[in-house]
Amino acid sequence: MVPGGQKLNLSGDRYTVDYLLTVDEKKARPLAEHICYEQTVEFPGDLIPDGEIKNQIVGRLESLERIDKKRSVAKISFAVEITGFEFTQFLNNLFGNISILPGIRIINIDIPESLLSISKGPRFGKQGITNILGVNRPLICSALKPLGMSAEQLAEQAYQFAAGGIDLIKDDHGICNQAFSPFKERVVKCSEAVKKANQKYGTKTLYLPNISGPAKMIRDWASIAKESGVGGLLISPGLIGIDTMKSIAEDDLINLPIMAHPAFNGTYVVSESNGISHGVLYGLLMRLAGADMTVFPNFGGRFSFSRDECLDIASGCRRPLQGIKPTLPAPGGGMTTDRLPEIIDTYGKDFVLLIGGGLHRHSDNIKRNTENFREMVDKI
Amino acid sequence: MVPGGQKLNLSGDRYTVDYLLTVDEKKARPLAEHICYEQTVEFPGDLIPDGEIKNQIVGRLESLERIDKKRSVAKISFAVEITGFEFTQFLNNLFGNISILPGIRIINIDIPESLLSISKGPRFGKQGITNILGVNRPLICSALKPLGMSAEQLAEQAYQFAAGGIDLIKDDHGICNQAFSPFKERVVKCSEAVKKANQKYGTKTLYLPNISGPAKMIRDWASIAKESGVGGLLISPGLIGIDTMKSIAEDDLINLPIMAHPAFNGTYVVSESNGISHGVLYGLLMRLAGADMTVFPNFGGRFSFSRDECLDIASGCRRPLQGIKPTLPAPGGGMTTDRLPEIIDTYGKDFVLLIGGGLHRHSDNIKRNTENFREMVDKI
């Protein structure tokens, strides 16, 4: 028995997590009760004396609802104070140890205002980005690729995209600091190319280099990018840590729009009985971690997301959250021009349309291909 | 068609990844070929001209072996240069975009010496830790808990563990910087308590505080811990980023043993058809990222790992890797004293035995319980 009788000065505010439990009916309640302990005290209940730790720190099973023989939803609430009001610990309380248990998937989180204070949310958000670009239509984004091209070649590609009137150009997320195209050289050259095209053609294209490199370089790379006059940053939080992305997003000296990329963290969503739902991971959590735009694979492309899963992400990006701006969904992957109407029907006007190979397909004239695509979007 | 004819000056060195593909037989080859492009150029093959990008940068399917109707193993090799010799980009090349595709699991990686240069491996490793502690038997580690206790209470618990002759004491990974026990106060008090007990009882206990906090605090917290005289650091790379852990492990001014905790990254292993195998994630990758000890749930405990999966981790920790020291496996979770023989039969002598609630169970006298357990281990 550990000592009891602590005074913890808790506010009574709690956040609530909906866990989808994919286990036999009989096992749902024991598992839900287990989560309450595993995600907090990680200690046998019978060795904790009555008191605030047992009654308030241990998670509280608010409800357990049966969906069918194999699935139930447990709503479990937690005292906001267990997060220490830090995003990393919040993630740990949501899913730390239980990420190792099969059959548990986070499908929703309700967060009271007191806990939302741990996030500044997107700095620019939907409105901020569209204000910079001065448009009120879906935004178009393409990627500099393929890996193996030199900084000069990528800069020439960037020039063509910008000349054609694209809104956003990102590095391909696999292009970082390889010898064929070292980070600084590429960022300076691509940034200059985009500025030149913007001046010549009156376009407003933003260039977003990929800064998802070594932990000790990320802040410096963000500064180098900033000094080079880039329009935003591409970050893969699955590679560098979600809170590392958040720290760059919240950095007043960097002060740039952030585009989050799903590299390496798809595993959280791909199994329907484990992990974290599409809407929570790519919508809500990316938004709380400061992503102004969140990249994910569109339905019907070369990945496996369904239309509903994509809508779930859009909902996580847009649902009302006290003081937190909306994030722009950025679906992509196998996008072709003929799918435009269906895609706009799904996302409305407020989203970023990622198009990759599609802009290289019609001809070698990237400027012309971009202009044509931009015209199609302008007509919407 | 993008421009061709680049001279990339590649060494010819390649690393090879074994991907377990859980798809219908007929789909295995197309999927394997898709991985070769998706993880490198992310560009349609027909738009890349013949040349080094197509022949060397695009992944190369070395073999495809059928296991049964539903499973095949694709061995795919990649030019070491695509990693830019950075660990984050190496992770991205292994599993960036394809983490979003169901049915792909990494089960092995073979890395040539030229690429191993991106890792210093564990600074201390098995030999370094056992040298510090001056013992040649399984090490015993317990955790300060539960969450909600004050710094004083946790320090008193630490004192008792150390007095009882435990080898390692870690913070519970859910204890970080909460108001009940703020980081600095806890670390200073626990560190002092352990020093006092070591002096009084002639023990050599090491205290490892949890530094898995906000990105902007981690380096400072590591320094505070170092100044307080701690014996190592507990890090959850799933929360702060694998390369962030690596940067702390490789920091010569910190120079402390690192214990990696699996919080938040269990999702990679729990589904047998997705993610990353136990041995690769908790063995090989943690080791390359500088973990001297790697925590994982033992078989037969409250998690679901099998004995074979645990042995796979131990193998990833120990297999020969040019210039990289072995990592100590640290199985835990639901450990009880009566399982000791079975566990030693599995791991041999070189591992860390995590025991939590078990040391509180017999009586409230933690010192006595620890002494008794230590005696059992000493007899081995």
How many Å apart are CA B257 and CA A7, to the nearest integer?
35
Q: Is residue B145 part of a domain?
A: yes
How much is the pLDDT for A264?
A: 98
User: Is A158 inside a domain boundary?
Assistant: yes
| Contact yes or no for B53 and A148 at CB 8 A | yes
Q: What is the pLDDT of residues B290-331, one digit of tens each?
A: 999 999 999 987 778 999 999 999 999 999 999 999 999 999
- Kindly indicate the confidence band of residue A369, based on its pLDDT and cuts at 50, 70 and 90: very high
Phi-psi region of B366 (alpha: psi -120 to 50; beta: other; left: phi over 0): alpha
* Closest chain B C-alpha to A149 CA, distance in angstroms: 7
Average pLDDT over chain A reads: 95
Better-predicted residue by pLDDT, A84 or B339: A84
What is each CA distance from A356 to A295, A344, B47, in whole angstroms? 13, 18, 12
Residues A330 and A234 in one domain: yes
Q: Among candidates A257, A289, A251, which has minimal Cα distance to A86?
A: A289
**Quick one: B194 and B52 in the same domain?**
no
Residue B75 one-letter amino acid: K
Answer yes or no: is the ipTM higher than 0.90.
yes
Closest CA to A356 of A378, A336, A376: A336
* The pLDDT value given to residue B181: 96
pLDDT 10s digits, A270-287: 999 999 999 999 999 999
Looking at the structure, tell me whether residues A139 and A61 fall in a common domain.
no
What A29-35 contacts at long range (C-beta under 8 Å, 24+ apart), as own/partner pairs, is A29/A64, A31/A74, A31/A101, A31/A103, A31/A104, A32/A61, A32/A64, A32/A72, A32/A74, A32/A76, A33/A61, A34/B302, A35/A59, A35/A74, A35/A76, A35/A98, A35/A104
Closest-CA residue of A relative to B35 is A302
Is the bond into A341 cis (omega within 30 degrees of 0)? Answer: no
Backbone angles phi, psi at A110, to 5 degrees: -110, 125
3-state DSSP assignment of residue A55: helix
Q: Does B299 map to a domain?
A: yes
Contact criterion met (CB < 8 Å) for B244 and A240: yes
CB A103, CB A31: distance < 8 Å: yes
CA distance A251 to A235: 14
* CB-CB neighbors (< 8 A) of B172 in chain A: 42
Above 90 in pLDDT, residue B2?
Answer: no
Q: Are residues B107 and B176 in the same domain?
A: no
Cβ separation B149–A53 shorter than 8 A: yes
pLDDT digits (tens, 9 = 90+) for B158-209: 999 999 999 999 999 999 999 999 999 999 999 999 999 999 999 999 999 9
Closest CB from A87, A241, A268 relative to B244: A241
Does residue A24 sit in the same domain as residue A83? yes
Q: Å from B130 to nearest chain A CA?
A: 28
Find the angle CA(B79)-CA(B81)-CA(B84) to the nearest 5 degrees.
140
From CA B149, how far away is CA A194, in angstroms rounded? Answer: 56
Mean per-residue pLDDT over chain B, rounded:
95
Residue A358 confidence (pLDDT): 78
Mean pLDDT, residues A313-325 taken together: 97
Q: What is the pLDDT of residue A340?
A: 86
Question: What's the mean pLDDT in A209-214?
Answer: 98
**Same-domain check for residues A112 and A149:** no
For chain A, percent of residues with pLDDT exceeding 90: 89
Q: Taking CB atoms and an 8 Å limit, are A148 and B8 in contact across chains?
A: yes
What CATH number does residue B139 fall under? 3.20.20.110
Burial annotation A12-31 (CB, 10 A radius, 16+ → b, else e): eebbbbbbbbbbeeeebeeb
At A337 the pLDDT is 73
Crossing angle for the helix pair A242-249 and A218-227, nearest 10 degrees? 30
Average the pLDDT over A202-230 and give the result. Answer: 98
Q: State whether A271 and A316 are in the same domain.
A: yes
Closest chain B residue to the Cα of A297, Cα to Cα: B100
Tens of pLDDT, residue by residue over A22-49, are 999 999 999 999 999 999 999 989 999 9
Boundary of a domain, candidates B99, B116, B133: B116
Asked whether residue A6 is domain-assigned, the answer is no
What's the pLDDT at B137?
Answer: 93
Chain B, nearest residue to A91 by Cα = B239
Distance CA B155, CA B307 (A): 35
Number of domains in chain B: 2
A326 and A306 in a single domain? The answer is yes
**What range defines the domain where residue B84 resides?**
14-116
Cβ separation B91–A264 shorter than 8 A: yes
* Domain stop point among B89, B116, B143: B116
* Closest residue of chain A to B215, computed from CA coordinates: A244
Kindly report, residue by residue over B251-290, the tens digit of the pLDDT. 999 999 999 999 999 999 999 999 999 999 999 999 999 9
Question: What pLDDT digit, counting tens, does each position of B346-362 carry?
Answer: 999 999 999 987 788 77
Q: Among residues A19, A130, A135, which one has the least CA distance to residue A77? A: A19
CB contact under 8 A, A173 and B216: no
The answer to whether residue B9 is domain-embedded is no
Contacts of residue B65, defined as CB under 8 A and 6 or more positions apart, other chains included, come to B72, B73, B75
From residue B214, alpha-carbon distances to A100, A304, B177, B239, B267 in Å are 23, 33, 10, 9, 22
Q: What is the pLDDT of residue A334?
A: 67
pLDDT band, residue B6 (cuts 50/70/90): confident
A-chain residues near B41 (CB < 8 A): 145-148, 174
Are B143 and B292 part of one and the same domain?
yes
Looking at the partner chain, which of A83, A241, A360 has a beta carbon nearest the beta carbon of B240?
A241
In our burial notation (b when 16+ CB lie closer than 10 A, e otherwise), range A53-63 reads bbebbbbbbee
Q: Inform me whether the pLDDT recorded for B335 exceeds 80.
A: no
The answer to whether residues A330 and A367 touch, using CB atoms and an 8 Å cutoff, is no
Interface test with B, best of A98, A117, A252, A264 (most B CBs within 10 A): A264
Given pLDDT bands bounded at 50, 70 and 90, which one contains residue A363? confident
Please state whether beta strands B104-110 and B275-276 pair in parallel, antiparallel, or not at all (unpaired): parallel
Average pLDDT over residues A336-348: 88
Q: Do B149 and A266 touch (CB under 8 A)?
A: no
Query: Looking at the structure, do residues B257 and B152 belong to the same domain, yes or no?
Result: yes
The answer to whether residue B108 sits within a structural domain is: yes
Q: Tell me what the mean pLDDT of segment B11-38 comes to.
A: 97
pTM over cut 0.90? yes
Structure-derived torsion over alpha carbons of residues A270, A273, A275, A277, reported in degrees to the nearest 10: 70
Give B339's pLDDT tier (boundaries 50, 70, 90). confident
Q: A356 falls in which pLDDT band (50, 70, 90)?
A: confident
Q: Residue B336: pLDDT above 80?
A: no
Are A291 and A161 contained in the same domain? yes
The CATH number of the domain where A69 resides is what?
Answer: 3.30.70.150
Q: Report the C-alpha gap between B171 and B190 in whole angstroms.
A: 9
Residue B58, min C-alpha distance to chain A (Å)? 9
Longest dimension (CA), chain A: 74
Residues B87 and B151 in one domain: no
- Chain A hits for B240, Cβ within 8 Å: 88, 241, 243-244
| SS3 labels along chain B | CCCCCCCCCCCCCEEEEEEEEECCHHHHHHHHHHHHHHCCCCCCHHHCCCCHHHHHHCCEEEEEEEEECCEEEEEEEEEHHHHCCCHHHHHHHHHCHHHHCCCEEEEEEECCHHHHCCCCCCCCHHHHHHHHHCCCCCEEEEEECCECECHHHHHHHHHHHHHCCCCEEEECCCCCCCCCCCHHHHHHHHHHHHHHHHHHHCCCCEEECECCCCCCCHHHHHHHHHHCCCCCEEECHHHHCHHHHHHHHCCCCCCCCEEECCCCCCHHHHCCCCEECHHHHHHHHHHHCCCCEEEEECCCCCCCCCHHHHHHHHHHHHCCCCCCCCCEEEEECCCCHHHHHHHHHHHCCCCEEECCCHHHHCCCCHHHHHHHHHHHHHCC
- Domain-located, residue A88: yes
Say what percent of chain B tops pLDDT 70.
100
* Residue B7 placed within a domain: no
Question: Mean per-residue pLDDT for A147-162?
Answer: 97
Residue A249, SS3? helix
Residue A148 pLDDT: 95
Among A116, A148, A179, identify where a domain stops.
Answer: A116
Q: How many CB pairs under 8 A join A and B?
A: 313
Closest chain A C-alpha to B45 CA, distance in angstroms: 10
Please give, rounded to a whole number of angstroms, the shortest distance from the CA of A285 to a CA of chain B. 13
Check pLDDT > 70 for residue A307.
Answer: yes
Instruction: Provide the pLDDT confidence category of residue B334 given band limits of 50, 70 and 90.
Output: low
- Work out whether strand A258-260 and strand A71-79 pair parallel, antiparallel, or are unpaired: unpaired
Per-residue pLDDT tens for B137-154? Answer: 999 999 999 999 999 999
Mutate to test the interface with B, among A239, A246, A258, A276 (most CBs of B within 10 A): A239
